[in-house]
Amino acid sequence: MNQDTIDRIRRFTEDRDWDQFHSPENLAKSIVIESAELLECFQWNGKDYDLDHVKEELADVIVYTQNLLDKLELDPDEIVNMKMEQNEKKYPVEKAKGNAAKYDQL
């Protein structure tokens, strides 16, 4: 996301004095709650989803994810690169190619 969008998310919380509710635990709960609402778009049918609804719920997941990054003062590039390094080792191309098995079953 660009800086303007991130600033808008931060200002929203600040203006409402909601930082007090944003414990890491509450934000983790919120991310699950919103991602389950995203999943609900695909509850009975994985194909005919309402794209506008998907966009809204996915946006909610992204907003709470940003809130948690902010709360813990984490840099998304840093943590994602750290995790991608692990993933690249756990799923070597020659074993994982075209295979959805979990790493411990490759």
Interacting residues toward its own copies by CB under 8 A: 1-2, 4-5, 8-9, 12, 15-18, 20-21, 23-26, 28-33, 35-47, 49, 51, 54-56, 58-63, 65, 68-69, 72, 74, 76-77, 79-84, 86-88, 91, 93, 96-100
Provide, rounded to whole angstroms, the least separation between the CB of residue 18 and its own copies: 7
Tell me which residue has tokens 């200002």: 11
Q: How far is the CB of 24 from its own copies (least distance, A)?
A: 7
Region at 74 (left for phi over 0; alpha for psi -120 to 50; beta for the rest): beta
Q: Are the C-beta atoms of 98 and 38 separated by less than 8 Å?
A: no
44 token code pair: 């009975």
